[in-house]
């Protein structure tokens, strides 16, 4: 009798956890990426997220690996998307001088 209640609850919980993980790791990142790319396109910025971050850190005089740039890209894309515009402005101001 108890199995009739517990088994469907376990199945529902597992499906819910899997659905959340798929959303968090795949769909959320896709939506964030699309949002950042559309923002860059709206401001007529031809550079990619990767290029903006790598040039920004080169201008600061810091040498970082490609792996770290990919990590920063994902972090900025998901948590601080406005940083791409700030970094691009910094790159542009530095190149105008």
How far apart (Å, rounded) are the C-alpha atoms in residues 76 and 81? 5
pLDDT surpassing 80 at residue 80: yes
What is the band of 69 on the pLDDT scale with cuts at 50, 70, 90?
very high
Q: What is the DSSP string of 43-75?
A: TT--S-HHHHHHHHHHHHT----HHHHHHHHHH
How far apart (Å, rounded) are the C-alpha atoms in residues 84 and 44? 13
Instruction: Give the residue-averaged pLDDT of 35-48.
Output: 96
How far apart (Å, rounded) are the C-alpha atoms in residues 81 and 43? 14
Question: Could you tell me the pTM of the whole model?
Answer: 0.82
């Amino acid at each position: 009798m108890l199995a009739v209640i517990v088994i469907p609850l376990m199945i529902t919980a597992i499906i819910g956890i899997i659905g959340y993980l798929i959303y968090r790791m795949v769909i959320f990142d896709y939506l964030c990426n699309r949002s950042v790319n559309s923002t860059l396109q709206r401001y007529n910025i031809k550079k990619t997220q990767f290029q903006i971050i790598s040039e920004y850190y080169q201008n600061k005089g810091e040498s970082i690996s490609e792996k770290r740039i990919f990590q920063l890209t994902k972090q900025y894309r998901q948590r601080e998307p406005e940083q791409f515009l700030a970094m691009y402005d910094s790159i542009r101001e530095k190149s105008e001088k």
